[in-house]
Amino acid sequence: MWIKLLIIFLLFSLLAILQTSFLTHFNIAQTSPNLIFILFYLIVFFENSQKYIQGIFSAIMAGFFLDILSLLYFGTSFIYLLIITFILKYILDLLNNNKGEYQIIHFTALFTIFFIIYNLLHLTPVFSRFFLIEITYNLFFAILGFYIYKKFKLYA
Amino acid sequence: MNVFLTKPNKKVFPKVLIVIIIFVFIAILNLFQNQFKNFFYFVSEPLQKTFWKTGGNTSNIFVSFLETSKLAEVNKELNIKNQELLQEISTLQNEKMENQALKEIVNIEQEKKFQLILADVMGVDSYQDYILIDKGSENGISENMPVINSQKVLFGKVFKVYKNYSKVMLISNKNNTLNIKIQKDDTLSPPIYGLVRGENNFTAILDTVPLDREIKNEDVLITSSLEGTFPRDLLVGKITEVQKDDLKPFQTAKIELFFNLKQADKLFIISDYKVEN
């Protein structure tokens, strides 16, 4: 478990640096992917909906890095992500999220909803052309992550 | 026997303790947030700079590959533009001679006003339109200092200063407004002033231009120094689409900002700009 948490920490650190430096050069219509949020979402989505350790740890790590890269006070993003973790777990529990054929549909729909919620919490305007492009761009990376996660059975 | 640690309380206690520890940790982080952020930037600086440069080079390869098909068209446009410019050059040559002496005096005065500090870009917060540079309070940086590139294109102003690093608020940030002047060929008519408002996502709009003043696409916007933060005549952007509505007291316009983050490795911070009277 500790090794897994250490890997999660290292992954978040790497993605934080990658997101603010390398990926900035690959903006599409002035929008860029939020890799930290995507990784956080992947971890919470694939963790057993009855368990919380990885989800909460990811919320702490993702929140920490999102706040360190922005001008927000520490804890702001962590609280938002913690709320998302609990709601997402509750919904996944209701959906009885098995590893079946509908998993990708659940994944995509919930990602879109929670990405909008996350941006609304940060007071980002979500009714704009830019946001539509941003959500599509992020969804692309999220779905890519979904298949990588499944391929390498990272949830096991 | 401890009466508070009954069986159900024993289960709840560790959870409550964890929550308390997390909140105490957050409070400590906030108390020393400048030091923590400075430390993180310090540790990640080599990797961040390497990724920034690699990203720039990789995206240049992609861009040049994607734009190959447009080259013929661009070449044709440039030829036409070149001919127009040649004509303009001959006209301007005469005026240049006359203005040379005057210009030199003005330039010397401006150089005197600008003390520049060179900084490298380390990263971009594209969600809020900030950039991170590798100079901080130790290098003489303080808040509100204007940030430009070598072509005097305005990027923004220093917003938050750490010990060795600073966050620069780009002019496209939604909290940023900037007084500008529209550059016109006709020097006899009174100058047109307006306000550039940031809209995030590296975009901005031109606002509060009086309805009776004529503005058109490709008009260049420069700083007017009316707000006292930026020196005058720094390049801001150009108009791409004028939006006139007779029901509104002012006309607005979409603009294209001149700053280009992909080519912004080195920036300059004007460290001793004094408001002109």
pLDDT band of A121, cuts 50, 70, 90: confident
Q: Residue B105: which pLDDT band, with cuts at 50, 70 and 90?
A: very low
Alpha carbon separation from B163 to B34, B41, B133 (Å, rounded): 8, 10, 12
Least Cα separation, residue A100 to chain B (angstroms): 34
Which of B166, B201, B203, B255 to mutate: most A Cβ within 10 Å?
Answer: B201
Does the distance separating the beta carbons of A75 and B30 come in below 8 Å? yes
**CB neighbour class for B234 (10 Å; exposed up to 12, middle 13-18, buried from 19):** buried
Model confidence pLDDT, tens digit, residues B150-164: 888 999 999 999 999
pLDDT band at residue B108 under the 50/70/90 scheme: very low
**Lookup: tokens for A46:** 């694939």
**Section B235-245 average pLDDT:** 89
Q: In the prediction, which pLDDT does A32 show?
A: 84
Going by pLDDT thresholds of 50, 70 and 90, the confidence category of residue A139 is very high
Dump pLDDT digits (tens) for A26-49.
888 778 889 999 999 999 998 887
Average pLDDT over residues B78-93: 76
Query: Would residue B202 be called left, alpha or beta, if left means φ above 0 and alpha means ψ between -120 and 50 degrees?
Result: left
The count of domains in chain A is 1
- Label residue B63 by pLDDT band (50, 70, 90): confident
Q: Nearest CA of chain A to the CA of B76: how many Å?
A: 26
Please report the sign of the dihedral spanned by the C-alpha atoms of residue B258, residue B261, residue B265, residue B269: positive
- Please tell me the predicted confidence (pLDDT) of residue B133: 93
With 60 as the cut, is the pLDDT of residue A156 above it? no
Q: What is the mean pLDDT of chain B?
A: 82
Indicate if the pLDDT at residue B137 is higher than 90: yes
DSSP state of B191: P
CB contacts, 8 Å: A32 with chain B:
126
pLDDT per position as a tens digit, A59-111: 999 999 999 888 888 889 999 999 999 999 999 888 876 666 678 899 999 99
How far is the alpha carbon of B139 from chain A, nearest alpha carbon, in Å?
A: 21
- Mean per-residue pLDDT of chain A: 87
Q: Which of B50-54, B67-71, B129-133, B160-164 has the lowest mean pLDDT?
A: B67-71
Tell me which residue range forms the domain holding A67: 2-151
CA distance linking residue B190 with residue B224, whole number of Å: 14
DSSP state at residue A50: T
Q: Please give the residue range of the domain that contains residue B244.
A: 177-258
Average pLDDT over residues A118-128: 81
Rounded to the nearest 5 degrees, what angle is found at the Cα of B162, between the Cα atoms of B159 and B165?
Answer: 85
Q: Which of A18, A26, A70 sits opposite B128 (nearest CB)?
A: A70
- Which residues of A make CB contacts under 8 Å with B? 13, 16-18, 20-27, 29-32, 34, 60, 64, 68-71, 73-75, 78, 122, 124-125, 130
Residues B159, A71: C-beta atoms closer than 8 Å = yes
pLDDT at B232 over 50: yes
Which residue of chain A has the CA closest to B122? A21
Q: Is the per-residue pLDDT at A21 higher than 60?
A: yes
Residue B197 within a domain = yes
* B237 inside domain: yes
Given a contact cutoff of 8 angstroms between Cβ atoms, the answer to whether B42 and B135 are in contact is no
Among B36, B55, B200, beta carbon nearest to A25: B55
Residue B7: the pLDDT is 60
User: What average pLDDT score do residues B201-219 get?
Assistant: 87
Whether the pLDDT of residue B90 is over 80: the answer is no
* Res B245 pLDDT > 50: yes
pLDDT at A69: 86
CATH number at residue B203: 2.40.10.350
For residue range B151-206, list pLDDT tens digits in order.
889 999 999 999 999 999 999 998 899 999 988 777 677 888 999 999 888 889 99
B86-115 residues touching A, CB cutoff 8 A: none
- Main-chain dihedrals φ then ψ at residue B193, nearest 5 degrees: -110, 160
Q: Are A92 and A45 in contact (CB under 8 A)?
A: yes
Is the pLDDT at B241 greater than 70? The verdict is yes
When pLDDT is averaged across residues B68-85 and rounded to a whole number, the result is: 77
Domain count within chain B? 1
Which ipTM did the prediction report? 0.84
pLDDT for the residue numbered A137: 92
Which pLDDT does position B142 carry in this prediction? 92
Percent of chain A as helix, strand, coil, to the nearest 5: 75, 0, 25
Contact between residue B182 and residue B220 where contact means Cβ atoms under 8 Å apart = yes
Predicted pLDDT at A58: 92
Is A22's CB within 8 Å of B40's CB? no
Best residue in A10, A17, A72, A120 for a mutation probing chain B (most B CBs within 10 Å): A17
The partner residue sitting opposite A20, judged by closest CB among B33, B62, B125, is: B125
The CA distance from B83 to the nearest CA of chain A, in Å, is 33
Q: At what angle do helices B33-66 and A53-69 cross, to 10 degrees?
A: 80
pLDDT, position B112: 54
The residue whose two tokens read 């231009």 is B209
Alpha carbons within 13 A on the beta-carbon side of A66 = 26
What gap in Å lies between CA A145 and CA A83, rounded to an integer?
A: 22
Q: Is residue B240 part of a domain?
A: yes
Query: Does pLDDT of B119 surpass 80?
Result: yes
What type of residue sits at position A149? Y
Distance between CA atoms of residues A15 and A56, nearest Å:
18
Contacts of B51 in chain A (CB under 8 A): 17-18, 21-22
- pLDDT score of B69 more than 50: yes
Minimum distance, in Å, between the CA of residue A76 and any CA atom of chain B: 10
In A, minimum Cα distance to B30 occurs at A74
Span of A69-83, B56-70, B112-126, B243-257 with lowest mean pLDDT: B56-70
* pLDDT of A56 higher than 50: yes
Is A97 contained in some domain? yes
Number of other residues whose CB lies within 10 A of the CB of residue B8 = 8
Q: Is B126 in contact with A19 (CB distance < 8 Å)?
A: no
Q: Is A156 within the bounds of a domain?
A: no
